[in-house]
């Protein structure tokens, strides 16, 4: 089953369309990170980082899709933000994944902390990429730069939280 999931993720990378709010490869990379971290028994803080990055990516995709379809309404971005985080955090809370008193770090639930930090740093990585690209005449400096900038903070933070939560 896990091998099948890996090959489906790989297939997603190969057939993904370019130039969306967050690239499909980036989203697949984050999604694969979530799956593999849970499969390997990685700490919830690290899993949360990748869940947060995936959520931000999905929010960006949804907003971009609505823009392409010319669907606009008052509070659209905040509604999408609340909807996605609600769809992720609420089920985790009701199934007991979030909220266990012994699963905390810095006084915050590990998974929730990871989601918050991962979301913020993934978004910052995308903003930095957009700024760097803009300052380079609208061109990337190297291939897949649009993937490296948002995903690199998640990788670095995964290493940092690995050592902090041991």
For residue range 22-75, list pLDDT tens digits in order. 566 665 666 566 667 667 878 889 989 989 998 999 999 999 999 999 999 999
The 10 Å Cβ neighbour count of residue 74 is: 6
Give me the percent of the chain exceeding a pLDDT of 90.
49
Helices (H) and strands (E) in the chain, counts: 6, 2
- pTM for the model: 0.76
Give me the percent of the chain exceeding a pLDDT of 70.
78
**Residue-level pLDDT at 127:** 94
Query: Rounded CA gap, 56 and 119, in Å?
Result: 6
For residue range 103-131, list pLDDT tens digits in order. 899 999 998 999 999 999 999 999 999 99
**Residue-level pLDDT at 84:** 93
pLDDT at 2 over 60: no
CB 105, CB 37: distance < 8 Å: no
């Amino acid at each position: 089953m896990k091998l099948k999931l890996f090959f489906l993720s790989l297939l997603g990378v190969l057939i993904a369309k370019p130039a969306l709010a967050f690239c499909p490869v980036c989203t697949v990379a984050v999604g694969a990170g979530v799956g593999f971290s849970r499969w390997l028994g990685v700490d919830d803080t690290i899993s949360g980082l990748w869940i947060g990055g995936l959520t931000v990516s999905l929010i960006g995709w949804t907003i971009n899709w609505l823009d392409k379809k010319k669907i606009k309404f008052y509070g659209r971005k905040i509604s999408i933000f609340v909807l996605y985080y609600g769809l992720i955090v609420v089920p985790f809370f009701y199934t007991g994944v979030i909220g266990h008193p012994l699963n905390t770090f810095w006084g915050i639930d590990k998974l929730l902390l990871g989601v918050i930090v991962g979301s913020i740093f993934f978004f910052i990585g995308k903003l930095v990429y957009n700024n760097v690209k803009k300052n380079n005449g609208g061109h990337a400096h190297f291939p897949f730069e649009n993937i490296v900038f948002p995903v690199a903070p998640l990788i670095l933070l995964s290493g940092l939280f690995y050592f902090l939560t041991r």
